[in-house]
């Protein structure tokens, strides 16, 4: 046990708020304020404050579990690891390497994500790897790469937001999903700037807005195009910027002009006066931003929707300039770094493409393997889960709970049950882990060191504050032991800093270049923004491509403070890149690309049988699938279970009162939860949070229709019907009561 507090970062969302952990006399740690970190300045939400609760042996796994006689029973580590290695090898021998699937998580550190991707491709030889970050910001990533040549959640630090003139926040409820970040938007308004929130619900965030636009779910693309149409019609295009720094404007303008305001009003439900007001608020200040989140991105046209919002920024000169730009609010703690370094089906470390021969050669050299031995791109996350039990016969899963978090979740649960073999590494017995043949208990954030990359592109160091309990091993130790049992004795170290040193070399010269970042530097600074190439390293011209004229005035020091850690070499001199694109974009010619896109309906529109739209999201006291937060008493007291949010007019048609059980039915299944009646939602829409399993599992209902580019499922809109439910009383001595639908669904 350490005797002084340890500076670190919250294990939850992509803000990665700074905190410190102080030892308690009775054992364990408590969270104490760390005011020096600029993102949260000491402020934490309830999840961050209570994060140590999950470290308790009362709620966590403390021993490997092996399925025997239909039940999971405690096992020794050697027995469990031998079983996993033996089953994987046997399945590979019979069915080939692509019969082995690997599924990761956006909460894994950069070191774990890197090692997991390397393990899949070098040890298993499989192409079948993806991660739950595919469900987070893949559409924004695809749109950003198309437009700018790279994707980083925010191309500027959060501290720029209060100094811009207007922010359009699309499909994000920051007040509940990232509460400490809301202060940046409050400061924006205090400084005379304006906030426009786009959301079909009047959320706590929308209540803070100067203008709230409430479009029908699935129509964000039409809304963006309608705003761009008005920009052109009102003569607000920045012709000089468009001419000098972009390509593709003529085609994009023609596409936008086909979406005239009255048509957009009919599609979205947002009035023409509101459209004109939004354009005026966005265009009149000298600088402005558009920030998107899961609302517009988790759609089967999410990439095009992001492209249309980027078009709005480009046409008005609100990109590639100080205090302006497009950004994505990444959700998961390491959703950004998790895909940069190898978990994603088509990517190698450094954000390199797996089908790029030069990228394969570079990474293969670092790994000491033949480039031809590396498999090609595999299936995306949902497609991989859908293939389980078919040609993918086994799955190694780390840090994810798809039984709750995946779309069409009942089908995914069925696919998991059909596997020949399932092994899960987790800190708790999640709903997915409960289906496994082997469950391995692994260390948590406070018990290990490692790096994460925040939504700003800021690489951060989480420091170990506790010694893990006996019987717990790290994910890196698990991969080391499995690799050795499968015949690869070297290349999978268990020390996180040693893994990071290899990651630096593998990323060097790539888009996400971490080669100039060391643990010593991260320990001395409040993070380093990538790209950060090492002096003289990488490919010719890489540093020039990321030149940031503003960096000379940035407060971050250029040296490593206390000097390099042992074995890390000289401290790199590159300052990192807080602000991208100020001189040029990351495309071959330095110009941004417009996207010529047109509105199209959601994959599933309402009809007579399913006349209502469902959208999903989060509540402030729970996180993602709830596997950890649902084990914290304080958080459960604040948010004990799911609910169905609906408008009073819809409730009146159903004859439903507040708290009455309602069944929400889609083409994929049925979920039941109590009614929460509010005028803050559209009458044609219902909302459910997705943190819970069981009968209230929202993702039983959601549509796995995929975006053709990002392969993002359409979580945010599907057609449903809503029915009032009567609870059948349980006669004495009979099993649990169940719900019974009452006639009178909405029509």
Q: Which portions of the chain are predicted below pLDDT 70?
A: 1-3, 537-572, 727-747
Contact assessment for residue 421 and residue 91, using Cβ atoms and an 8 Å cutoff: yes
How far is 356 from 353, CA to CA, in rounded Å?
A: 5
How far is 310 from 479, CA to CA, in rounded Å?
A: 40
Tokens of 144: 């950003």
Tokens of 521: 């530097």
First to last CA, the chain: 62
Contact assessment for residue 106 and residue 398, using Cβ atoms and an 8 Å cutoff: no
- What pLDDT does residue 730 have? 42
Q: Break the chain into its structural domains and give their ranges.
A: 6-55, 65-133+337-509, 138-329, 612-741
How far is 103 from 128, CA to CA, in rounded Å?
A: 8
- What pLDDT does residue 741 have? 52
- What pLDDT does residue 407 have? 97
- What pLDDT does residue 535 have? 87
State how far Cα 132 lies from the chain centre.
Answer: 8
Contact assessment for residue 285 and residue 193, using Cβ atoms and an 8 Å cutoff: yes
Contact assessment for residue 305 and residue 600, using Cβ atoms and an 8 Å cutoff: no
DSSP one-letter string for 202-250: --TTGGG-SEEE-PPTT-HHHHHHHHHHHHHHTT---HHHHHHHEE-HH
How far is 686 from 677, CA to CA, in rounded Å?
A: 10
Rg of the chain (C-alpha set): 25
Is the fold of 65-133+337-509 the same as that of 138-329? Answer: no
Q: Which residues contact 239 (CB under 8 A, 6 or more apart)?
A: none
Domain at 6-55: CATH code: 2.20.25
* 141: three-class secondary structure by DSSP: helix
How far is 60 from 428, CA to CA, in rounded Å?
A: 5
| Superfamily of domain 138-329 in the CATH hierarchy | Dimethylsulfoxide Reductase, domain 2 (3.40.228.10)
284 phi/psi in degrees, rounded to 5: -70, -35
Please name the CATH architecture into which domain 65-133+337-509 falls.
3-Layer(aba) Sandwich (3.40)
- What pLDDT does residue 249 have? 98
pLDDT, one tens digit per residue, over 452-473 is 999 999 999 999 999 999 999 9
| Helix extents (H) in 598-735 | 633-638, 648-654
- What pLDDT does residue 53 have? 95
Q: Which residues contact 493 (CB under 8 A, 6 or more apart)?
A: 476, 480, 499, 502
Query: Quick one: CA dihedral 551, 556, 562, 568, positive or negative?
Result: negative
- What pLDDT does residue 333 have? 86
CATH class of 612-741: mainly beta
- What pLDDT does residue 558 have? 24
Contact assessment for residue 479 and residue 116, using Cβ atoms and an 8 Å cutoff: yes
Tokens of 61: 């796994």
Q: How deeply is 117 buried, as exposed, middle or buried, from its count of CB atoms within 10 A (0-12, 13-18, 19+)?
A: buried
- What pLDDT does residue 545 have? 37
Q: Which residue in 639, 701, 705, 691 sits closest to 670, CA to CA? A: 701
DSSP label at 473?
A: B
- What pLDDT does residue 423 have? 98
């Amino acid at each position: 046990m350490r005797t002084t507090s340890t500076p670190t970062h919250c294990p939850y969302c992509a803000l990665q708020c700074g905190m410190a952990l102080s030892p308690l006399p009775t054992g364990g740690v408590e969270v104490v304020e760390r005011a020096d970190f600029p993102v949260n300045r000491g402020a934490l939400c309830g999840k961050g404050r209570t994060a140590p609760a999950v470290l308790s042996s009362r709620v966590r796994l403390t021993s490997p579990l092996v399925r025997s006689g239909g039940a999971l029973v405690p096992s020794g580590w050697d027995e469990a690891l031998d079983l996993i290695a033996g089953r994987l090898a046997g399945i590979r021998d019979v069915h080939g390497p692509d019969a082995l699937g690997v599924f990761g998580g956006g909460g894994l550190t950069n070191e774990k994500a890197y090692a997991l991707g390397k393990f899949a491709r070098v040890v298993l030889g499989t192409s079948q790897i993806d991660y739950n970050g595919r469900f987070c910001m893949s559409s924004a990533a695809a749109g950003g790469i198309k437009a700018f040549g790279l994707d980083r959640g925010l191309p500027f630090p959060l501290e720029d937001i209060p100094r811009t003139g207007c922010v359009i926040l699309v499909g994000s409820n920051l007040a509940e999903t990232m509460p400490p970040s809301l202060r940046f938007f409050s400061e924006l308004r205090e400084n005379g700037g304006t906030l426009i929130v786009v959301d079909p619900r009047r959320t706590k965030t929308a209540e803070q807005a100067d203008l709230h636009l409430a479009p029908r779910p699935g129509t964000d693309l039409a809304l963006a195009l309608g705003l761009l149409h008005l920009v052109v019609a009102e003569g607000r295009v920045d012709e000089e910027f468009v001419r000098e720094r972009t390509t593709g404007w003529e085609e994009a303008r023609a596409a936008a002009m086909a979406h005239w305001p009255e048509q957009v009003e009919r599609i979205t439900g947002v009035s023409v006066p509101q459209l004109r007001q939004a354009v005026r608020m966005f265009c009149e200040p000298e600088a402005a931003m558009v920030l998107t989140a899961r609302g517009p991105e988790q759609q089967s046209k999410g990439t095009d929707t992001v492209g249309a919002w980027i078009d709005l920024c480009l046409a008005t000169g609100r990109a590639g300039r100080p205090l302006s730009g497009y950004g994505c609010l990444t959700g998961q703690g390491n959703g950004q770094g998790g895909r940069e370094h190898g978990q994603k089906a088509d990517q190698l470390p450094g954000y390199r493409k797996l089908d790029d021969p030069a990228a394969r050669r570079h990474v293969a050299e670092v790994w000491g393997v033949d480039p031809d031995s590396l498999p090609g791109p595999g299936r995306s996350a949902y497609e991989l889960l859908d293939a389980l039990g078919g040609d993918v016969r086994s799955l190694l899963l780390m840090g994810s709970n798809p039984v709750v978090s995946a779309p069409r979740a009942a089908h995914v649960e069925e696919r998991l049950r059909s596997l020949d073999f399932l092994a899960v590494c987790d800190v708790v017995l999640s709903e997915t882990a409960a289906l496994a043949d082997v469950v391995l208990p692994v260390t948590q954030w406070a018990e290990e060191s490692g790096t994460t990359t925040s939504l700003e592109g800021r690489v951060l160091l989480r420091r170990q504050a506790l010694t893990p309990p006996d019987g717990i091993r790290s994910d890196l130790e698990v991969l080391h032991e499995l690799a050795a049992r499968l015949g690869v004795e070297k290349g999978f170290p268990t020390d996180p800093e040693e893994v990071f040193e290899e990651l630096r070399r593998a990323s060097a010269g790539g888009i996400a270049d971490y080669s100039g970042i060391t643990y010593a530097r991260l320990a001395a600074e409040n993070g380093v923004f990538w790209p950060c190439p090492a002096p003289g390293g990488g490919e010719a011209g890489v540093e020039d491509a990321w030149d940031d004229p503003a960096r000379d005035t940035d407060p971050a020091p250029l040296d490593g403070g206390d000097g390099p850690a042992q074995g890390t070499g000289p401290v790199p001199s590159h300052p990192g890149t807080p602000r991208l694109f100020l001189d040029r974009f990351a495309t071959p010619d330095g110009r941004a690309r417009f996207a010529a896109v047109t509105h199209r309906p959601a994959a599933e529109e309402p009809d007579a049988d399913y006349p209502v739209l469902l959208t999903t999201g989060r509540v402030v006291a729970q996180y993602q699938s709830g596997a950890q937060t649902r084990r914290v008493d304080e958080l459960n007291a604040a948010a004990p279970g799911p609910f169905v949010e609906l408008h009073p007019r819809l409730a009146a048609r159903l004859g439903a009162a507040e708290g009455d059980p309602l069944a929400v039915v889609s083409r994929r299944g049925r979920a039941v939860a109590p009614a929460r009646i509010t005028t803050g939602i559209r009458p044609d829409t219902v909302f459910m949070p997705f943190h819970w399993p069981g009968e209230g599992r929202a993702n039983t209902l959601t549509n796995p229709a995929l975006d053709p580019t990002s392969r993002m499922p359409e979580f945010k809109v599907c057609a449903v019907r809503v029915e009032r439910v009567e609870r059948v009383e349980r006669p004495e001595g009979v099993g649990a009561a169940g719900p019974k639908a009452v006639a009178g669904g909405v029509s």
